[in-house]
């Protein structure tokens, strides 16, 4: 019976591969930028706890442990490819009374706050940084794979579904996703992280950081999107009702502000700072997708983050002193 079962599964696996049938819970390719996106193929690997990671993730984590970073960046592609780490480090190096900034960019493209929270618990706390930046929001309010990230995480961490390289396992995953979707179907695809879950994730990240002697710095996500001028490429692919884009994103931004105020932690309100700029000066700082930073935008964000850290006495000082703890 065992031989027969194994043989049947092997034949099914071969048949699925010959038919080209597959189902992944992680991105197999990534389009970055708009309207002429750079396509990144085979960049990610599935992860049982984070949903996916770059294939270079283990090396990146090893490098971060080696430098004992003072500051760790967590977030999505806006941070992973934001081009503001070097401008920030350069300004810290030139500032009076500071020492060079050791930092590790542990952000990952496509991540929501769900993955960020798992990473903080399992990897980032072990790095023992003095400061942690938290920049999430965009991917949280995009529609997902038919289930939210929390449910996807439950499936990805299942022992039964652990080997996602097998097409048979992929088809089983697909069936379970469809079943869970049908049981909660309200006619709309769910966002990856609901607003209440987003708040809970950000609160948990802040609390974990504080409990471990790390100063959390919350960052709001700026945008060039305007009501009535939403980019058409987002319709149906990332959001079902394009007219909801601007108020939906704003609701997630507001949660970040509220958590910062409630927990009395540092807020770098990039969204507000960008809104306050003349539009002709703000738009060139963001790619045409209205989300990611251009090289010029990375320079500006580096400067804004430097000012934010400096004003809140979170810079690494030459005398070896750590960040000044805020009264709470």
Q: Which domain holds residue 138?
A: 21-311
What are the pLDDT digits (tens) for 164-203?
565 555 555 555 555 555 445 555 678 999 999 999 999 9
Q: What is the mean pLDDT of residues 91-119?
A: 96
Class of residue 14 by CB neighbours under 10 A (exposed 0-12, middle 13-18, buried 19+)? exposed
Q: Are 217 and 314 in contact (CB under 8 A)?
A: yes
- Decide if 68 is inside a domain: yes
- Decide if 6 is inside a domain: no
- Decide if 2 is inside a domain: no
Which residue, among 282, 295, 281, has the nearest Cα to 83 in the 3D structure? 295
Check which CATH number belongs to the domain holding 77 and give it.
3.40.50.1110
Percent of the chain with pLDDT over 70: 76
- Decide if 317 is inside a domain: no
Q: Are 106 and 44 in contact (CB under 8 A)?
A: no
Give buried/exposed letters for 175-203 (b at 16+ CB in 10 A, else e).
Answer: ebbeebbeeeeeeebbbbbeeebbbbbbb
Sheet holding 103-105, edge to edge: 103-105, 71-75, 131-135, 215-219, 266-268
Alpha-carbon torsion (42, 47, 51, 56), positive or negative: negative
- Decide if 186 is inside a domain: yes
Bond before 35 cis per omega within 30 degrees: yes
Q: How confident is the model at residue 85 (pLDDT cuts 50, 70, 90)?
A: very high
Helices (H), the chain: 2-19, 57-67, 77-80, 85-94, 113-119, 125-127, 149-156, 167-183, 195-211, 245-263, 270-275, 279-282, 295-311
Which residue, among 99, 101, 100, 52, has the nearest Cα to 80 in the 3D structure? 52
What are the pLDDT digits (tens) for 254-308?
999 999 999 999 999 999 999 999 999 999 999 999 999 999 999 999 999 999 9
Q: What is the mean pLDDT of residues 213-241?
A: 93
Q: Are 190 and 180 in contact (CB under 8 A)?
A: no
- Decide if 75 is inside a domain: yes
Cα separations in angstroms, 196 against 141, 190, 232, 259: 11, 13, 27, 12
- Decide if 298 is inside a domain: yes
- Decide if 321 is inside a domain: no
β-strands 29-32, 38-41 pairing? antiparallel
Cβ neighbours for 236, distance < 8 A, ≥ 6 positions apart: none
Q: Are 61 and 126 in contact (CB under 8 A)?
A: no
What are the pLDDT digits (tens) for 123-178?
999 999 999 999 999 999 999 767 888 887 776 665 544 555 655 555 555 555 55
* Tally of domains in the chain: 1
* DSSP class of 285: G
| The predicted structure's pLDDT at residue 258 | 98
CA–CA dist 321, 313 (Å, integer): 11
């Amino acid at each position: 019976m065992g031989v027969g079962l194994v043989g049947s599964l092997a034949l099914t696996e071969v048949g699925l591969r010959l038919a080209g049938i597959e189902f992944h819970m992680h991105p197999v390719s990534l389009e970055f930028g708009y309207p002429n996106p750079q396509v990144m193929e085979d960049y990610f690997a599935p992860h049982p706890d984070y949903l996916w990671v770059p294939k270079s993730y283990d090396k990146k984590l090893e490098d971060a442990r080696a430098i004992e970073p003072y500051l760790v960046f967590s977030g999505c592609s806006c941070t992973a490819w934001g081009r503001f780490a070097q401008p920030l480090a350069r300004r810290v190096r030139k500032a009076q009374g500071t020492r060079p900034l050791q930092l590790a960019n542990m952000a990952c493209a496509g991540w929501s706050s769900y993955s960020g929270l798992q990473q903080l618990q399992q990897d980032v706390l072990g790095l023992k940084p003095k400061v942690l930046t938290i920049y999430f929001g965009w991917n949280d309010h995009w529609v997902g794979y038919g289930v939210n990230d929390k449910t996807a995480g439950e499936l990805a961490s299942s022992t039964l579904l652990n080997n996602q390289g097998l097409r048979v396992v992929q088809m089983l995953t697909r069936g379970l996703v469809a079943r869970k979707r049908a049981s909660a179907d309200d006619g709309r695809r769910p966002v990856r992280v609901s607003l209440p879950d987003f708040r809970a994730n950000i609160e948990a990240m802040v609390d974990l950081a504080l409990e471990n002697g790390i100063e959390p710095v919350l960052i709001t996500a700026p945008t060039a999107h305007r009501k009535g001028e939403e980019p058409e490429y987002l319709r149906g692919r990332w959001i079902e009702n394009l007219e909801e884009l601007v108020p939906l994103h704003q609701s997630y931004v507001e949660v970040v502000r509220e958590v910062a105020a409630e927990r009395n932690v540092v807020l770098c309100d990039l969204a507000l700072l960008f809104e306050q700029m003349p539009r002709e000066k703000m738009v060139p700082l963001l790619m045409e997708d209205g989300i990611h930073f251009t090289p010029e935008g990375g320079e500006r964000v580096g400067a804004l983050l430097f000012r934010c850290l400096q004003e809140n006495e979170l810079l690494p000082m030459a005398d070896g002193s750590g960040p000044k703890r805020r009264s709470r």
